[in-house]
């Protein structure tokens, strides 16, 4: 066993523009950052990459309908017959000067934004009513949030008063050559065999009039390529990793299979 432990590998990420420089600038100046883009286009990987590259601890919270402010801040729990305060991930990030990443923040309950607002302006404070604390965020703390603007309805929309508290970066699926390189690197499938997968994804994303809430993500392409690289037949891999995840509608799935036949015909 080596006496010196190896540093953890930095998650791979291929920049599409100036997003890495903007992240570092936001972090150094204590500014919150909002990532906008479709599901599976690389937002979470980007945050993981930047946290590792800048040497910051990362707390990631997958937001959902039932996520409340208490889930982020903390609560009293019964331990050994006594009540004990337990910090939530946001509070731990503030105390430690870490990065807190709220993935799909628009999914969280409305009381979450009330907690975030004082952290996203010049106050940079977190108020914990239950303990009477008011934590001042240290220089290393950074709040990052993400959401998908194309998957919102009237009941779930990020209010302008919240959006305008963040710097923002728009993400999209990478260009064809970049996506081929990413999928090949993540799956181990050679680029020549990844290329038709990426062409298929581009066709699906460009379709209109189909019962698809979203186009195929780069993440799903990695799944499909991984199955193919491990020996699964292409039709079976695409059925499991692309067609079935995209839709439950039989007519839509049939149309997707036809498209697969055209690309691989």
The enclosing domain of 32 has a CATH number of 3.40.50.300
| Closest C-alpha to 64, from 115, 113, 116, 106 | 106
Of 170, 199, 215, at which residue does a domain stop? 170
Residue range 146-173: mean pLDDT, rounded: 81
Question: Does the residue 161 lie in any domain?
Answer: yes
Report the number of distinct structural domains present in the chain: 2
Residue 39 pLDDT class (50, 70, 90 cuts): confident
How far is 148 from 151, CA to CA, in rounded Å? 6
pLDDT 10s digits, 65-84: 999 999 999 999 988 888 99
Residues 158 and 181 in one domain: no
Of 170, 194, 222, at which residue does a domain stop? 170
The pLDDT value recorded for residue 209 is 55
Residues 34 and 156 in one domain: yes
Residue 2 pLDDT class (50, 70, 90 cuts): very low
63's CB contacts (< 8 A; 6+ apart) are: 102, 103, 104, 105, 106, 107, 108, 112
Of 170, 192, 218, at which residue does a domain stop? 170
| Closest C-alpha to 129, from 61, 70, 195 | 70
The pLDDT value recorded for residue 80 is 80
Residues 32 and 159 in one domain: yes
Residues 183 and 68 in one domain: no
> Which residue range(s) make up the domain with 59?
19-170
Residues 53 and 124 in one domain: yes
Residue 260 scores a pLDDT above 80? yes
Question: Does the residue 207 lie in any domain?
Answer: yes
pLDDT 10s digits, 155-164: 467 788 888 9
Residue 115 pLDDT class (50, 70, 90 cuts): very high
Question: Does the residue 8 lie in any domain?
Answer: no
Question: Does the residue 114 lie in any domain?
Answer: yes
> Contact 133/74 with Cβ under 8 angstroms?
no
Residues 186 and 151 in one domain: no
Question: Does the residue 71 lie in any domain?
Answer: yes
The pLDDT value recorded for residue 27 is 95
Residues 129 and 59 in one domain: yes
**CB-neighbour burial class of residue 233 (10 A; exposed 0-12, middle 13-18, buried 19+):** exposed
Question: Does the residue 73 lie in any domain?
Answer: yes
Count of alpha carbons within 13 Å of 57, Cβ hemisphere only? Answer: 11
The percent of residues above 90 in pLDDT, for the chain, comes to 74
């Amino acid at each position: 066993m080596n006496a010196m432990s190896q540093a953890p590998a930095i998650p791979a990420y291929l920049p599409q523009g100036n997003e890495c420089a903007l992240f570092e600038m936001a972090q150094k100046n204590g500014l919150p950052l909002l990532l906008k883009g479709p599901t599976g286009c690389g937002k979470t990987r980007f945050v993981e990459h930047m946290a590792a590259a800048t040497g910051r601890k990362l707390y990631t919270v997958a937001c959902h309908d039932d996520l409340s402010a208490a889930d982020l801040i903390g609560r009293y729990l019964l331990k050994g017959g006594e009540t004990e305060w337990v910090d939530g991930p946001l509070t731990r990030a503030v105390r430690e000067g870490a990065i807190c990443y709220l993935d799909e923040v628009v999914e969280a309950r409305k009381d979450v934004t009330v907690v975030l607002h004082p952290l996203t302006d010049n106050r940079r404070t977190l108020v914990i009513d239950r303990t009477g604390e008011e934590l001042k965020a240290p220089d290393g703390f950074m709040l990052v949030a993400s959401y998908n603007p194309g998957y919102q309805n009237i009941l779930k929309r990020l209010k302008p008063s919240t959006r305008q508290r963040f710097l923002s970066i728009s993400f999209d699926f990478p260009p064809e050559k970049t996506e081929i390189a990413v999928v090949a690197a993540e799956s181990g499938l050679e680029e020549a065999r990844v290329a038709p997968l990426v062409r298929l994804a581009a066709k699906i994303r460009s379709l209109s009039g189909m019962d698809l809430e979203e186009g195929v993500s780069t993440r799903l392409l990695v799944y499909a390529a991984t199955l193919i690289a491990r020996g699964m037949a292409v039709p079976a891999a695409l059925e499991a990793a692309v067609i079935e995840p995209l839709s439950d509608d039989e007519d839509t799935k049939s149309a997707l299979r036809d498209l697969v036949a055209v690309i691989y015909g």
